[in-house]
Amino acid sequence: MSNFDAGGFDDFAPAASTEDFPRRRSTTESFPRRSDQPRRTTSSRDDIVERRASEPPAPQLKERPPAWQPDAAVDQCPTCRSRFETFARRHHCRYCGGVFCYNCTQRSMLMPPQWEGLCGYATRDPQKVCAACASQVQPYQQQWIDSNSNQNKANHIDNDASTRYLNSPLRFTLGGEVRKAGITLRNLLGDNVNFWEKDAQVFHDQLQGARGLLFLTIAKMAMIGGLRVGTGLVIAKLPDGSWSAPCAVGTLGLSFGAMFGIGISDTVTALDDTAVTELADAHTTKISVGFDASLALGPLGRSASGEVLGASDASATTSTTYSQTRGFYGGISLNGANLRVRDDVNLKFYGKKVAPADVLRGRVKQPPAAQCLYEELGGFFGELEARRRRSAARQAYEYQSQRSTASSTGGGASASNNDDPFGSADPVVEV
Ligand SMILES: [Zn+2]
Ligand SMILES: [Zn+2]
């Protein structure tokens, strides 16, 4: 109980002078008590960052992280007076170190970046704070989000083979999901996947026309009753044609059918307006997405040999999936998978609570940490378009060849195989 001082930190108190906020010295008074708390009476939104001119200037920041108040020192929450019991556990406010109940530490805020290395957590990850501390650090939140949050970190898609072919079905950061999605896109057109040029038209039409894209890496373990688990992200196509900021999603459920073994699939699903709207709705806790397996490609890691597992018969009504599968499963069957927004992962990435609607409707700007995904998407659709054109040109050529062959020889052999002006034969192998 020694260093609960609210030391001045003039650099980070742009609107306050030290006279306005006399330093408090180390006493138990530093713990916010019910009486000194400015009560929040209206909104519970975490993103109130712009203070009106009439509000007092930002308070001084604590120079160092606090020592934690010992659990034994309190038997009831100082804010709401509820007693701590077996199921009413103690929670420490990360800004003052005081003990509160669960309900009274529901705000998550970024901590001063100067505390990095001095506290037992990363300051770029929002931490639980009590109501009094929330109002103290609130004026700094936008500044710290801009300078220190995960969404503003540098991020790039690693081409390392070990990670490239082993996307994890469980990720706990949205930055990681962004890299995973980028790798999935890269692999879809890469040299280790069987890609038939004639599929380019189908993929192009479905993905290009999508109102949103869902990237999901899913593990299925049929040995233990058909468990299906996976995480990923959703981005929406905005009216101006750009992509929205990413929204973290996950799925957990049971899968049925005659399946055996373990499979991991990287999937890209085209979402329609209905699915995007449902996800953006604050009242939706989960949506059911029909994952159509018809576009599943062959397993990664094998050399391109012209084999495709499953026919390219795209017939899904609401959404179609374009996936890569590893493991012992052939195709994937994910119909009716339940998709949930992962608010905790979004919070950690954006540095504040964000509503899925704000993310998917373009009210949250594209974060720097997702730029690598937007670039990858641009390259992906460009390449898909190029392959679609080549495929169309090839088909026209083959059609013409067959017609001319038929007219000159009266039918029979095709002339297209040994005389192909459009480069490599199916499957296209490009890097
Ligand atoms: Zn409480
Ligand atoms: Zn506190």
Enumerate the H helices of 174-234 as residue ranges. Answer: 174-188, 199-208
Q: What is the Å distance from ligand 1's center to 334 Cα? A: 43
Strand intervals (E) in 209-281: 212-221, 227-236, 247-254, 262-271
- Residues 6 or more apart whose Cβ sits within 8 Å of residue 28: 1, 4
More confident residue, 130 or 414: 130
Cα of 349 vs centre of ligand 2, distance in Å, is 22
How far apart, in whole angstroms, are the C-alpha atoms of residue 1 and residue 69? 7
Ligand showing the shortest atom-to-Cα distance for residue 130? 2
Place of tokens 């989000």: 145
**Per-residue pLDDT for 327 more than 60?**
no
| Rounded-to-integer distance, Cα 13 and Cα 23, Å | 13
How far apart, in whole angstroms, are the C-alpha atoms of residue 18 and residue 6? 11
Q: How confident is the model at residue 2 (pLDDT cuts 50, 70, 90)?
A: very low
Domains of the chain: 1-148 (3.30.40.10), 161-381 (no CATH)
User: Between vectors from CA 51 to CA 45 and to CA 53, what angle results, nearest 5°?
Assistant: 155
Residue-level pLDDT at 200? 63
What is the structure's pLDDT at 4?
A: 40
The rounded distance, in Å, linking the Cα atoms of 301 and 172 is 26
Enumerate the β-bridge partners of residue 204.
Answer: none
Whether 249 has a pLDDT exceeding 60, the answer reads: yes
pLDDT at 163 over 90: no
Q: Any idea which ligand is nearest the CA of 131?
A: 2
Place of tokens 């540095």: 351
pTM of this structure = 0.72
Kindly report whether the peptide bond that precedes residue 70 is cis, defined as omega within 30 degrees of 0: no
Q: Which ligand is nearest to the CA of 89?
A: 1
Whole-angstrom Cα distance, residue 427 to residue 41? Answer: 63
Closest listed ligand to the CA of 94: 2
**Which residues lie closer than 8 Å to 311 by C-beta, 6 or more apart?**
294
CA 32–ligand 2 middle distance (angstroms): 6
Q: Which of residues 91 and 55 earns the better pLDDT score?
A: 91
Using the mean position of ligand 1's atoms as its centre, give its distance from the Cα of residue 80 in Å.
Answer: 4
Residue 114 has pLDDT above 50, yes or no: yes
Q: For residue 108, report the distance from its CA to the centre of ligand 2, in Å.
A: 11
What is the mean pLDDT of the segment spanning 293-319? Answer: 29
Give the count of beta carbons closer than 10 Å to the beta carbon of residue 378: 11
pLDDT in tens, 348-375: 999 999 999 999 999 999 999 999 999 9
SS3 label, residue 371: helix
What is the DSSP secondary structure assignment for residue 282, as one 8-state letter? T
Q: Which ligand is nearest to the CA of 92?
A: 2
**% of the chain exceeding 90 in pLDDT:** 36
pLDDT tens digit sequence for 194-236:
455 555 666 677 777 888 998 888 776 665 556 778 899 999 9
Q: Which residue has the higher pLDDT, 358 or 57?
A: 358
Farthest CA pair distance, the chain: 102
**What is the residue-averaged pLDDT of the chain?**
73
pLDDT of residue 401: 86
pLDDT score at 257: 52
Distance spanning both ends of the chain, measured CA to CA: 61
More confident: 166 or 116:
116
pLDDT score, position 393: 87
- Considering only 48-62, 264-278, 366-380, which range has the smallest mean pLDDT? 48-62
Q: How far is the CA of 95 from the centre of ligand 2 (A)?
A: 5
Q: Please tell me whether residue 266 adopts helix, strand or coil conformation.
A: strand
pLDDT band with cut points at 50, 70 and 90 for residue 26: very low
The pLDDT value given to residue 374: 96
Q: How far is the CA of 246 from the centre of ligand 1 (A)?
A: 34
Mean pLDDT of 42-67: 66
Residue 359 CA to ligand 2 centre (angstroms): 29
CA–CA gap between residue 193 and residue 144 (Å, rounded): 42
Sheet holding 337-341, edge to edge: 287-289, 337-341, 247-254, 227-236, 212-221, 262-271, 320-327
* Distance from Cα 107 to the centre of ligand 1, integer Å: 12
Q: What ligand has the least distance to the C-alpha of 33?
A: 2
Give pLDDT, residue 355.
94
User: pLDDT tens digit string along 254-270?
Assistant: 765 545 556 677 778 78
For residue 431, the CA-to-ligand 2 centroid distance in Å is 53
Residue 40 pLDDT greater than 80, yes or no: no
Strands 212-221 vs 127-129: parallel, antiparallel or unpaired: unpaired
